[in-house]
Amino acid sequence: METTERKKVMLSGIQPSGDLHIGNYLGAIRNWGARSDDYDCYYFMADMHTITVRQNPAELRRRTLAQLAQYIACGLDPARNTLFIQSHVPAHAELGWVLNCYTMFGELSRMTQFKDKSQKNADNINGGLFTYPALMAADILLYQPDYVPVGEDQKQHVELTRDVAVRFNHVYGEVFKVPEPYIPKVGARVMMLSEPERKMSKSDPNGCVFLMEKPEDILRKFKRAVTDSETGRCVYYDPQRKPGVSNLMDIYAAVTGKNYEDIEREFEGRGYGVFKPAVGEAVVEYFRPIREEAARILADKAYLQSVYRAGAEKAAAIAARTLRKVYKKVGFVER
Ligand code: TYM
């Protein structure tokens, strides 16, 4: 039966600054598709965010389209999810400017991602890198979402978005819906295989597993994963004392649906020499159909174009509504 009630809205994005890795998948994408029946869903390629760090233009274009193909292959059906490229919807930049004027210098200075990235790119600490969270707030608030499904590391940005929305509403009345971050129980912070104390990111390709990687490369990375030297070499969950093993257990749990106790029982009395390749095999099998489907979709450029064009059209219509309201509230003359 048709209902006139507004469906709840979900929105999220990923920067096409590198190829998608299993951290992006387990922390974010996996939770996106699960809700497409009950929610109005918007997922985008955050290409405007990537130029806060210098990019190779041809590579950025390639990765943006590859990311869209992978979104679809991960189960985001374009008929039930609005999939679009951020730079195709000008309202992001427009609201981004307005929100810059409602986001405080002190708040931006406290952002972990800014501190990390300015350390890594000391020769290019540009204004965009600093005001990035105001653009991200615009990405979110334009669509009035209820939930923003992200990994643990983006929680701080979603919280800042909430603060900015509350501040704006306080001055102008209820303009923005104040969104909630939606963070998974397992997989919210996947760690490097090479350095389990650090969050998985593309910065070290040996510790990071990409969705489109060849099975033999995935297996090799898991076989070399750093664990610990505990005698007996037991597989049990203890993120403080056994970060490497616990990270592998998290990954294994996420792709097999098994819980920690099942996993501990499965590998009881067996060494890491059995455990590590088993996790690798499970990951290879889990991502095999996604990898094959993404390669097939990516070959069909006309299809991809039809998806991102339709996505941009739908997104732009919704975004324009919010932007118009904001412009009116702050006192801009209507055209
Ligand atoms: P980005 O592109 O760094 O990461 C995309 C998503 O992947 C999650 N993630 C992880 N989850 C678990 N373990 C990891 N090791 C891991 N690494 C990354 C991130 O938490 C994120 O959910 N600023 C955002 C992109 C963005 C955005 C938005 C997100 C721009 N506008 C609006 C949501 C809504 C970013 O840099 O994510």
Q: State pLDDT tens for residues 232-291.
A: 668 999 999 999 999 999 999 999 999 999 999 999 988 899 999 999 999 999 999 999
Same domain, 61 and 155: yes
Q: Residue 322 above 80 pLDDT?
A: yes
Share of the chain above pLDDT 90, in %: 91
Q: State pLDDT tens for residues 78-99.
A: 999 999 999 999 999 999 999 9
- Asked whether residue 177 is assigned to any structural domain, the reply reads yes
* Rounded mean pLDDT, 114-134: 94
Q: State pLDDT tens for residues 111-120.
A: 999 999 999 8
CATH number, domain containing residue 21: 3.40.50.620
The greatest distance separating any two alpha carbons of the chain, rounded to the nearest whole angstrom, comes to: 73
Give the nearest ligand 1 atom to 154 CA.
Answer: 20
Output the pLDDT for position 33: 82
Report the nearest-CA residue for atom 27 of ligand 1: 13
Nearest-angstrom CA–CA distance, 270 and 251 = 18
* Rounded mean pLDDT, 151-178: 98
Report the nearest-CA residue for atom 14 of ligand 1: 23
Same domain, 147 and 240: no
Q: Residue 67 above 60 pLDDT?
A: yes
CA of 2 to the centre of ligand 1 (A): 34
Report the nearest-CA residue for atom 24 of ligand 1: 14
- Asked whether residue 195 is assigned to any structural domain, the reply reads no
- Asked whether residue 110 is assigned to any structural domain, the reply reads yes
Same domain, 132 and 255: no
Report the nearest-CA residue for atom 6 of ligand 1: 24
- Asked whether residue 42 is assigned to any structural domain, the reply reads yes
- Asked whether residue 1 is assigned to any structural domain, the reply reads no
Which residues have C-beta atoms less than 6 Å from ligand 1?
Answer: 12-15, 23-24, 26-28, 46, 49, 136, 139-140, 148, 150-151, 153-154, 157, 188-190, 199-201
Q: Return the SS3 of 84.
A: strand
Report the nearest-CA residue for atom 19 of ligand 1: 151
Give the nearest ligand 1 atom to 136 CA.
Answer: 31
User: Looking at the DSSP assignment, which residues form a beta bridge with residue 12?
Assistant: 43
Same domain, 154 and 170: yes
Nearest-angstrom CA–CA distance, 37 and 41 = 9
Same domain, 120 and 26: yes
Q: Return the SS3 of 40.
A: strand
Output the pLDDT for position 36: 79
Q: Return the SS3 of 254.
A: helix
Same domain, 38 and 144: yes
Q: Residue 4 above 70 pLDDT?
A: no
CA of 14 to the centre of ligand 1 (A): 5
CA of 328 to the centre of ligand 1 (A): 32
CA of 272 to the centre of ligand 1 (A): 31
> How many domains in the chain?
2
Pocket test for ligand 1, best of 71, 154, 195 (most atoms within 8 A of CB): 154
The pLDDT-based confidence of 304 (bands split at 50, 70, 90) is very high
Residue 54 structure tokens: 């210098």
- Asked whether residue 43 is assigned to any structural domain, the reply reads yes
Residue 273 structure tokens: 């020499």
Same domain, 62 and 116: yes
The pLDDT-based confidence of 37 (bands split at 50, 70, 90) is confident
Report the nearest-CA residue for atom 37 of ligand 1: 14
Same domain, 32 and 96: yes
- Asked whether residue 335 is assigned to any structural domain, the reply reads no
* Rounded mean pLDDT, 126-132: 96
CA of 38 to the centre of ligand 1 (A): 23
The pLDDT-based confidence of 183 (bands split at 50, 70, 90) is very high
Average of per-residue pLDDT values in the chain: 95
Pocket test for ligand 1, best of 9, 12, 14, 15 (most atoms within 8 A of CB): 14
Give the nearest ligand 1 atom to 188 CA.
Answer: 12
Nearest-angstrom CA–CA distance, 134 and 157 = 9
Residues marked active site are found at 117, 199, 202
Give the nearest ligand 1 atom to 46 CA.
Answer: 30
Task: Between 190 and 34, name the one with better pLDDT.
Answer: 190
Output the pLDDT for position 1: 46
Report the nearest-CA residue for atom 31 of ligand 1: 136
Our measurement of the distance from residue 239's CA atom to the centroid of its chain's CA atoms, rounded to an integer in Å, reads 23
Residue 63 structure tokens: 């990765």
CA of 151 to the centre of ligand 1 (A): 6
* Rounded mean pLDDT, 304-318: 98
Nearest-angstrom CA–CA distance, 312 and 40 = 15
Nearest-angstrom CA–CA distance, 179 and 162 = 6
Question: Which residue range(s) make up the domain with 61?
Answer: 8-188+300-330
CA of 12 to the centre of ligand 1 (A): 8
Q: Residue 294 above 50 pLDDT?
A: yes
Q: Residue 145 above 50 pLDDT?
A: yes
